[in-house]
Amino acid sequence: MDLEKFDINKQNQIIDGKFIGYHHNLNELPIKKGDIVIIKKGTIYSTTRSIGYHIAGKNYKVKVDHLIHGAQYMGKNGKIVKNTEVTWAGSGGYWHRADINEVEKVNE
């Protein structure tokens, strides 16, 4: 995504169809607590079990436990932007998280 379009001083931004940065009102997002989503093969995600990121080796269908707002601020080297994350209980009871723009809601 081109961060030139991103205004660091505005919340709840949607750019090129993507939910970018901090979103204060999570109820305005298309994915909510309790929704079933698909984590597609190749999606980058993180867990509380280990440091760093992982790549999904297959498609997973999971139930959303909660959303994390995201963040945006000016760092030493420019704009720092973290998108809202979808969180679910993964294997071993560890939390798993992926960017809201990388998951697909299941219509049930």
Share of the chain above pLDDT 90, in %: 56
Instruction: Give the Cα separation of 71 and 20 in Å (integer).
Output: 9
For residue 17, with 0-12 CB atoms within 10 Å meaning exposed, 13-18 middle and 19 or more buried, which class applies? exposed
Provide the pLDDT for residue 1.
Answer: 57
pLDDT at 108 over 70: no
Q: Which residue from 17, 4, 41 is spatially nearest to 100, judged by alpha carbons?
A: 17
Q: Does the predicted model carry a pTM greater than 0.95?
A: no
* Domain membership flag for residue 60: yes
- Please indicate, yes or no, if residue 12 is contained in any of the structural domains: no
Close Cβ partners of 77 (under 8 Å, ≥ 6 residues apart): none
The boundaries of the domain holding residue 29 are 21-105
Q: Do 31 and 64 meet the contact criterion of CB atoms below 8 Å apart? A: yes
Q: How many domains does the chain have?
A: 1
Q: Which pLDDT tens digit goes with each residue over 82-96? A: 999 999 998 888 999
pLDDT over threshold 80, residue 5: no
Per the domain annotation, does 16 fall within a domain? no
Whole-number pLDDT of residue 66: 96
Q: Cβ distance 29 to 67 under 8 Å?
A: yes
Phi-psi region of 26 (alpha: psi -120 to 50; beta: other; left: phi over 0): alpha
Q: Positive or negative CA dihedral for 3, 5, 7, 13?
A: negative
